[in-house]
């Protein structure tokens, strides 16, 4: 842990606080000054290092008050969506590591039980905190232990059904849980839904500014205000408290002192401002949600380097063009408008755009319902977030053979967001679903063609692409329709000239293709861009098996159960005898770092691929001619 050290000018209080114990030794009158120092430290550090920004500026005073009022880590403090927990890291021994956070070998991007005793529960995805708190409170009750259990949920976390399932259960059991709602009217984008409107009207009644309220709030007396604000949570068995100004340390401590030892379910409603204390972030909290660097005085963001568009932009441009041609196309996102490239679509086709909030299960079944009525829904979703809607994909879409297109962003290693956000498993969990076509395009142009192809299919299709940019730019003008891909057909990009023995063939699924071509030249190997994970191009596999001594499958997905496994299974079914080397992500959770660093760590960069193939060639005799014929 960080020990108290002499800090640079302006951080006298923060320099003396290495743990919450140090914090609790301060006089309460020092907390507002400490909050100023913490906010300035976050601004100066993240201006250089980048990271999640505006959400953390909004939780400074709340974090101070919670650690001051509670006996952490004995009391369990559970943060939802770890991107609001940088102030928590500052106060729990990790201040010196903040600048290296999200980098290879540095602090985790979110919360991690492996990193600190103060991280009671790992948090990367949203809306898990209340369920985890229920489990911890029930465990304390069963074990006869006296401890407080507090869940801090916000940044859109209450738009997810999981959170309400937990609230309902806690209320039914009467558990001693305090749920603190950090209400900033935001997730990454603006919050959506009827609950947002309910909260806005409740805040207006209580005297807080609520510009997003569509209907005026009636004038009520103070007792009526609190009852009206908390009626939803009272109906779930919680005692409602608030709302409280989340940037007033004294008001927060007074509220926590009232509720922290109360028996039964308690709900404390705290109002914060995303981007608090940095004017550009307050004005544009979405733009400053995640930053790569900025001027700490003016707020001017570091300009991105010129280059080809990201896959999310390729998708967004394609979707707008497709929707202009086909009025049946509608788009659905679970609160990821910016990240999934839907900003332009939402502006151009507002009536055909559905942001369901952080509600992936609902997003998928909503798409199924739209498809039942003849529309062509496109679900734009991150790979790891689709994990949360997997049952709906199977039961509500695939089983009914409905023409839903899943545009799956962040497939494979995503880089700095780490293990909670790597799309490491999608090819494995998708290819086993009947009726589902799975496409893994190798570049931006192939991605646009794959999306066009998906719209020609009578059933569901998943098109999976990574974070970041492709070396190949998709040149699509206006309403141009690209030639669709032939279903289940690969493209052979290079054929061995027979200069090297034994002969090697690469079967590449997805965007690691560019890393293979250089290696293929060294090995004089054949290369196929497989395009389709399901259905496979059986003719290409059969041909390569007949003419090569080693087949190498490559994918940015778990090597267990992925596209390479599909090739293995088909070869066994056909009783074809040819050695196969499967390359992909290892059977472990890959940490954070840059995408290139992590690919190298996993042996999926060009030198790593070459080493793996050469090791296999040395490890066993492959010099006999490959028969590619039946084992019988």
Instruction: Return the SS3 of 26.
Output: coil
Fold match flag (14-282 vs 491-619): yes
Can you give the pLDDT at residue 630?
Answer: 38
Alpha carbons 50 and 469: distance in angstroms, whole number: 19
| pLDDT at residue 160 in the model | 86
Residue 624 has a pLDDT of 46
CA–CA separation, 574 and 288 (whole Å):
54
If one looks up domain 491-619 in CATH, what number appears?
Answer: 3.40.50.920
CA distance 325 to 457: 17
Other C-beta atoms closer than 10 Å to the C-beta of 220 total 14
pLDDT, position 216? 46
User: What pLDDT score was predicted for residue 199?
Assistant: 58
User: Domain boundaries in the chain?
Assistant: 14-282, 311-464, 491-619
Assign 3-class secondary structure to 320-355: HHHHHHCCCEEEEECCCCCCCCCHHHHHHCHHHEEE
CB 123 within 8 A of CB 79: yes
What whole-number distance in Å separates Cα of residue 547 and Cα of residue 524? 13
Element (H, E) at 183: strand 178-183
Architecture of domain 14-282: 3-Layer(aba) Sandwich (3.40)
As a whole number of angstroms, the distance between CA 149 and CA 157 comes to 18
User: Which residues of the chain register pLDDT less than 70?
Assistant: 1-9, 155, 186-229, 471-481, 620-632
Q: How far is CA 360 from the centre of its chain?
A: 12
Calculate the CA 495 to chain-centre distance.
38
Active centre residues (catalytic):
274, 360, 388
Q: How far apart are CA 399 and CA 422, in angstroms?
A: 27
Q: What is the dihedral of CA 12, 16, 21, 25, to 10 degrees?
A: -60
Predicted confidence at residue 224, as pLDDT, reads: 52
Q: Which pLDDT value is given to residue 1?
A: 42
**Whole-number pLDDT of residue 479:** 55
User: Which residues are registered as beta bridge partners of 112?
Assistant: none
* Prediction pTM value: 0.89
**Cβ(397)–Cβ(417) under 8 Å?**
no
Could you name the CATH architecture of 311-464? 3-Layer(aba) Sandwich (3.40)
Q: Please state the φ and ψ torsions of residue 252, each to the nearest 5 degrees.
A: -65, -45
pLDDT of residue 220: 44
């Amino acid at each position: 842990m960080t020990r108290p050290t002499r800090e640079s000018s302006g951080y006298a209080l923060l320099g003396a606080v290495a743990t919450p114990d140090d914090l609790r030794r301060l006089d309460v009158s020092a907390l507002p000054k400490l909050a100023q120092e913490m906010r300035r430290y976050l601004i100066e550090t993240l201006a250089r290092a980048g990271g999640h920004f505006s959400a953390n500026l909004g939780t400074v005073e709340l974090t101070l008050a919670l650690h001051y009022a509670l006996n952490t880590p004995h009391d369990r403090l559970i943060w939802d969506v770890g991107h609001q927990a940088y102030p928590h890291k500052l106060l729990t021994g990790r201040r010196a590591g903040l600048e290296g956070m999200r980098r290879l070998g540095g602090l985790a991007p979110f919360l991690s039980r492996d990193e600190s005793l103060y991280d009671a529960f790992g948090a990367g995805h949203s809306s898990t905190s209340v369920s985890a708190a229920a489990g911890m409170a029930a465990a304390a009750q069963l074990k006869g232990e006296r401890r407080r259990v507090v869940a801090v949920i916000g940044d859109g976390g209450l738009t997810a059904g999981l959170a309400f399932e937990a609230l309902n259960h806690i209320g039914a059991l009467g558990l001693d849980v305090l749920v603190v709602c950090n209400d900033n009217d935001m997730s990454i984008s603006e919050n959506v839904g009827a609950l947002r409107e309910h909260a806005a009207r409740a805040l207006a009644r209580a005297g807080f500014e609520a510009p997003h309220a569509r209907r005026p709030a009636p004038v009520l007396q103070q007792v009526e205000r609190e009852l009206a604000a908390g009626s939803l949570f009272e109906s779930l068995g919680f005692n409602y408290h608030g709302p409280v100004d989340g940037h007033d340390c004294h008001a927060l401590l007074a509220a926590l002192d009232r509720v922290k030892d109360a028996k039964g379910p308690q709900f404390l409603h705290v109002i914060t401002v995303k981007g608090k204390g940095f004017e550009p972030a307050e004005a544009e909290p979405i733009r400053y949600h995640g930053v790569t660097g900025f001027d700490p005085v003016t707020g001017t963001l570091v300009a991105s380097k010129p280059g080809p568009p990201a896959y999310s932009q390729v998708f967004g441009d394609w979707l707008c063009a497709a929707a202009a041609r086909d009025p049946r196309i509608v788009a659905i996102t679970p609160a990821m408008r910016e990240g999934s490239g839907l900003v332009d679509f939402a502006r151009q086709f507002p009536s055909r755009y559905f942001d369901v909030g952080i509600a992936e299960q609902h997003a998928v079944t909503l798409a199924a319902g739209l498809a039942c009525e003849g529309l062509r829904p496109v679900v734009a979703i991150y790979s790891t977030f689709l994990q949360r809607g997997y049952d709906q994909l199977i039961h509500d879409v695939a089983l009914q053979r409905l023409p839903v297109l899943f545009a799956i962003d962040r497939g494979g290693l995503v880089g700095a967001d780490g293990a909670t956000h790597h799309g490491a498993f999608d090819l494995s969990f998708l290819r086993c679903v009947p009726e589902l076509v799975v496409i893994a395009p190798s570049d931006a142009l192939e991605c646009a063609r794959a999306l066009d192809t998906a719209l020609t299919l009578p059933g569901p299709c998943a098109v999976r692409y990574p974070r970041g940019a492709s070396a190949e730019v998709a040149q699509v003008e206006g309403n141009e329709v690209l030639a669709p891909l032939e279903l289940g057909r690969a493209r052979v990009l290079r054929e061995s000239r027979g200069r090297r023995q034994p002969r090697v063939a690469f079967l590449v699924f997805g965007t690691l293709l560019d890393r293979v071509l250089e290696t293929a030249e060294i090995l004089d190997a054949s290369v196929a861009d497989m395009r389709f994970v399901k259905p496979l191009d059986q003719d290409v596999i059969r041909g390569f098996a007949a003419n090569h001594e080693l087949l190498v499958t490559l994918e940015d997905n778990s090597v267990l159960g992925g596209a390479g496994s599909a090739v293995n299974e088909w070869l066994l079914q056909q009783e074809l005898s040819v050695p196969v080397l499967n390359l992909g992500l290892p059977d472990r959770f890959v940490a954070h770092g840059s995408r290139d660093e992590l690919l190298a760590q996993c042996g999926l960069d060009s030198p790593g691929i070459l080493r793996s193939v050469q090791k296999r060639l040395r490890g066993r005799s492959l010099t006999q001619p490959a028969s590619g014929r039946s084992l019988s």
